[in-house]
Amino acid sequence: MPRSTARSILETIGIIAGAVLLMWTLQAFLIKPFQIPSESMVPTIDPGDRILVNRLSDTSGDIQRGDIIVFKAPHEPGVDFVKRVIAVGGDTIEVKRGQVIINGIPQVEDYVNPLVMDVSNFPATTIPPGNVFVMGDNRTNSQDARFWDPPWLPVDSVIGKAFFIYWPPQRMGLLN
């Protein structure tokens, strides 16, 4: 017994509406795609790369040093940034001629762009609880916490943790 055309059309519309609702729910609450607009995270993430962000990690308190996060830019409404967490609340950070020092210990940062010599300085600063200090991996081409006032980011500005590059295919893989 053949189905009616009207019933087939209604079923198709229902399937499409369900798929759209599922995608909206995933993007609003679980995983959000982002496209990288700048060179601030080279060589880890290139301009034009598309990444996935875990939105569940934005307020769960599990943001740690080394995480790559997407957040609302502190002084640019409507703009999102992607940077690496360098220090968390309670840490004292300092940068001397490009060398990051956390709580008095020089850090080994093998993710920093090796092609560019960073000679920047940043005075010793203790990050308040509930905040993080972020920097781009391409230190000489990154508008990050070193240039903000105050020089930290409230954790409630974090959209989520970047965890996967999905485009272009040759760069596909996990981050961190």
- Annotated catalytic sites, by residue? 40, 83
Label each residue of the chain as H, E or C. Answer: CCCCHHHHHHHHHHHHHHHHHHHHHHHHHCEEEEECCCCCCCCCCCCCCEEEEEHHHCCCCCCCCCCEEEEECCCCCCCEEEEEEEEECCCEEEEECCEEEECCEECCCCCCCCCCCCCCCEEEEECCCCEEEEECCCHHHCCCHHHCCCCCEEHHHEEEEEEEEEECHHHCEECC
